[in-house]
Amino acid sequence: MKPIEVKKDIYWVGAVDWDIRDFHGYSTYKGTTYNCYLALDEKVVLFDTVKKGFLSDLTHRIHNLIEPQKIDYLVVNHLEMDHSGSLPEVIELIKPEKIFTSPMGQKAMMAHFHYKDWPVEVVKSGDTLNIGRRTIHFLETRMLHWPDSMFSYFPDDKLLISSDAFGLHWATSERFDDQVDPSELMHHAAKYYANILLPYSPLVAKLLAQVKEMGLAIDTIAPDHGVIWRGDPGRIIAAYDRWSRQEAVAKALVVYDTMWHSTELMAKAVADGLQDEGVCVKLMNLATTHRSDAITELLDAKALLVGSPTLNNGMLPRMADFLTYAKGLKPTGKLAAAFGSYGWSGEAVKQITEVLKEMKLEIVDEGLRHNYVPDHEALHKCRELGQKMGQAIKAAGLAPAGVRCHCSQG
Ligand code: FEO
């Protein structure tokens, strides 16, 4: 229950959730953290709170530094319940003199908590708050990833408290990027981006340009989830730059579901064809792969190949789930094609192709179907589909996937 010093007199006082395995559809198979930061100055400021049920973690850590009732100000950078679920209890405990939040934060706070007498004060981009030796600068980051999202920046400490941005779901005893395995770190960061921020990529790109233009000196980024970037914050900024442009490498994701292994045989033959062309392939069966892990692999893939047999005149339910999820995340600039086995009606491939078109992906082939179990000739056609896609990927002149093929890392 120790607080961890991030900068002189600025501490991490959050909670580690080792048990959470589902985050509204995102598989958090290694848990997460709910980060909060406490600045000790002439005014004592707490940045964000924790999910409901983790109040004791927060208050015990604060108690190691100061009586919670001595906190003067609360800054609410984000209203999603993983950071605000304990807000009413925190307010009741510390009775803050003021609560600072963005204009949209105030609306969200009212809509969530229907408060009457909280001392809420709205701050906008460019507003500052002097707390003694330090001044906090606020920057609204609307839709990154909620309308209320906001950054808090300490120029003298070169510290950016970045809310959900630059975060990752990973429960660790370590609090900093330079204390954990760098490969696993970037995998979790990529997964977080792919599953949370991908639809807002144009706004991420705009924000990165804005931060550059403002010339903000940053040597530490303290997000609301996962480790704090102090060893190499440039690495995650560079990764966000690539991910926000949806930069792809010579890699394809073949994602499928299967009833009696016929579509699985087709998927493997498609993957063989891609490999014939020297393209890195990730082959993922939705029966054993979580949708959020498949999306992570899609982040830097140039092509998406989707396979499903036909069941009751449609695609298999797990594929419908995946495509609904993928469509909402708005991946762009990718090539696509569908395939699948069928018995008598065979609508799945056409339906999948329609969804891929709705996603505005570039259809390289109108789809490959096979009646019942594919024989050698049918598998050869699947392989040719893979080769055709592989050639289209190569024509895009992309960098080889290399080691990044294995985990979408930066
Ligand atoms: Fe971590 Fe958008 O909440």
Ligand 1 atom closest to the CA of 225, numbered from 1: 1
Q: What is the pLDDT of residues 280-311, one digit of tens each?
A: 999 999 999 999 999 999 999 999 999 999 99
Residues designated catalytic: 24, 78, 80, 82, 145, 164, 192, 225
Rounded to the nearest angstrom, the distance between the alpha carbon of 290 and the centre of ligand 1 is 20
Distance CA(137)–CA(157), nearest Å, equals 12
On whether the CB atoms of residues 293 and 326 are closer than 8 A, the answer is no
Residue 149 Cα: closest atom of ligand 1: 2
List of E strands, 29-81: 32-34, 37-39, 45-47, 73-76
- The 10 Å CB-count burial string (b at 16+, else e) for 189-217 is bbbbbbbbbbebbebbbebbeebeeeeee
Chain segment 238-268, per-residue pLDDT in tens = 999 999 999 999 999 999 999 999 999 999 9
pLDDT of residue 52: 97
Q: What is the pLDDT of residue 410?
A: 46
Query: What is the chain's mean pLDDT, rounded?
Result: 96
For residue 406, what pLDDT band results from cuts at 50, 70 and 90? very low
What's the pLDDT score for residue 243? 98
User: Which residue ranges does the chain devote to CATH 3.60.15.10?
Assistant: 4-244
Q: How far does the centroid of ligand 1 lie from the alpha carbon of residue 1, in Å?
A: 23
Does position 221 have pLDDT exceeding 50, yes or no? yes
pLDDT tens digits, one per residue of 44-72:
999 999 999 999 999 999 999 999 999 99
Residue nearest to atom 2 of ligand 1 (CA): 80
pLDDT at residue 162, as a whole number: 98
Helical residues (DSSP H) of 277-316, grouped into ranges:
291-298
Question: Percentage of residues in the chain with pLDDT exceeding 70?
Answer: 98
Q: Residue whose CA is closest, atom 3 of ligand 1?
A: 80
Q: Report CA(165)–ligand 1 centroid distance (Å).
A: 9
Of the candidates 238, 124, 235, 109, the residue with the CA atom closest to the CA atom of residue 182:
235
83 lines ligand 1 (CB under 6 A): yes
Whether residue 402 is predicted with pLDDT greater than 60 in this model: the reply is: yes
Choose among 374, 271, 257, 274: nearest CA to 310. Answer: 257
Q: What is the distance in A from the centroid of ligand 1 to the CA of 193?
A: 12
Q: Is the CB of 80 under 6 A from ligand 1?
A: yes
Q: Ligand 1 pocket, 164 CB below 6 A?
A: yes
Cβ proximity of 266 and 273 under 8 Å:
no
* CATH domain 4-244 topology: Metallo-beta-lactamase; Chain A (3.60.15)
**Residue 404: per-residue pLDDT:** 53
Give the pLDDT score at 403.
54
Tens digit of pLDDT for each residue in 316-355?
Answer: 999 999 999 999 999 999 999 999 999 999 999 999 999 9
Q: What is the pLDDT of residue 408?
A: 47
What residues does CATH 3.40.50.360 cover in the chain?
249-404
Pairing of strands 37-39, 45-47: antiparallel
- CB crowding 129-156: b at 16 or more within 10 Å, else e: bebeebebbbbbbbbbbbbbbbbbbbee
Q: Which two tokens stand for residue 268?
A: 């493997």
Question: What average pLDDT does the segment 377-391 reach?
Answer: 98
334 lines ligand 1 (CB under 6 A): no
Question: Above 80 in pLDDT, residue 405?
Answer: no
| Residue 78 near ligand 1, beta carbon < 6 Å | yes
Assign domain 249-404 to its CATH superfamily. Answer: Flavodoxin domain (3.40.50.360)
Ligand 1 centroid, distance to 112 Cα (angstroms): 14
